[in-house]
Structures are given as structure tokens and as C-alpha cells.
Amino acid sequence: MTEGSLSRLPRENIELPGGAVLRRRSLVSDDAFIDAVAADVGHLGEWLRWAQHPPTREETEGFRAEQDADWDAGRSFVYVLTPADRFDEVLGGGAMFPNGEDGVLEIGYWVCSPATGRGLATRAAAALTEEGLALPGVRAMEIHCDQANVRSAGIPPRLGYRLLRIEPDEPQTAAEAGQSMVWRHDGAGPRPLLQAP
């Protein structure tokens, strides 16, 4: 899986408790994505390397096309988080992608500031963990987050992840401390709870 692809693809829509849905990125309009990120660059840019400036249409279209090709090839899977009944409101997002170790997928997650404090990031991370562990050939999931990102670092232990190590990582945003926490869930023990707060 490090350089190859998965033999089965994840679901394109993953419903979360509470009425939100993780949708394959290509199912949500570029306009909705651009509007959400551009309106929240100050918040998102603290921790997301790709959100340091408002996205242009050209960048967005290019990234979406790459993400679509990677999905279809079974390499990586990018989602956008929306309300269950709307495709034009972006609440956040998540992704699953190879981290370089055979049989291991890494996940990432983000939530726009108006939607924070409602448990969406936790539920999205739980759903991605369950989805990833159910894929053939996947034996573990990982979450990497900067040690200074206290809110994000609180999510993995609630979902049954264990801290493997803390390693130096070149800061890519102004808020990062340059120490990456590496968390792993190998499917043993408690499973992530989708209703986790």
C-alpha cells in the first residue's frame, strides 16, 4: 500500500451521528469549498499547511482533479464535511492517505471555526478510523498532529489511539511547535465510538 493502491475503495458518503456527512471531495462544489476556506483562513491557516491563503479557483480545480485521480486509483481519499441535507455548506473535512508504512493509513481532519466545539472533528476522525480499518490490507491507522495543537491532540486518545512517539517535524505554519505527535490505532482494544463527543 505504500506505493500501490487498495483493492477496494471506501464509501463516498459516510454519515455521522448528529446530521453531518463526510462526502467525497468531488461531490461538493468548488464554490462551496473556496467560500468556506477563504472565509476562515485565519483559523484554518494556524494548523493547515494548505490553508495559508484563500484558495484560488485554479488551485482548487487542480487539487480536486488530483484528489479525484488518487481516489479512483485507490491511493488516497479526501472528504468534505457538510450538513446531511446540504452540499453547498462546508463544515470541515478529512482524509485518509498512505504514510509510507505498508498497511498503515494516516488520517487528517479539520473543522471551520463556526462549527467547532460540536464534536464534529472527533466524530469525523472516528468514522475515518472505522472506514480505514475495514479496508483490505489496512492493519493500522495513524494520526499525526503538532504537539502545540492541543485541541487536535485530544482526539486520538478518546478514540483508542495510543501515542507511539513525538518526533521533530519542520514547522509549516506559524502556530506549529515543530514536534509531531504520532498516534496509532491497530484495531485492537476499544473501537472508536462514532457518537464520541
Q: Rounded to whole angstroms, what are the CA distances from 85 to 82, 90, 100, 129, 133?
A: 8, 12, 36, 24, 27
Q: For the domain 13-186, what is the CATH superfamily, name and number?
A: Gcn5-related N-acetyltransferase (GNAT) (3.40.630.30)
Give the per-residue pLDDT at 134: 93
pLDDT for 189 beyond 90: no
Please tell me whether the overall predicted TM-score, pTM, comes out greater than 0.85 for this model.
yes
Q: What residues does each domain of the chain span? A: 13-186
pLDDT digits (tens, 9 = 90+) for 60-95: 999 999 999 999 999 999 999 999 998 889 999 999
Share of the chain above pLDDT 90, in %: 74
DSSP 19: S
pLDDT for 190 beyond 50: yes
pLDDT for 156 beyond 50: yes
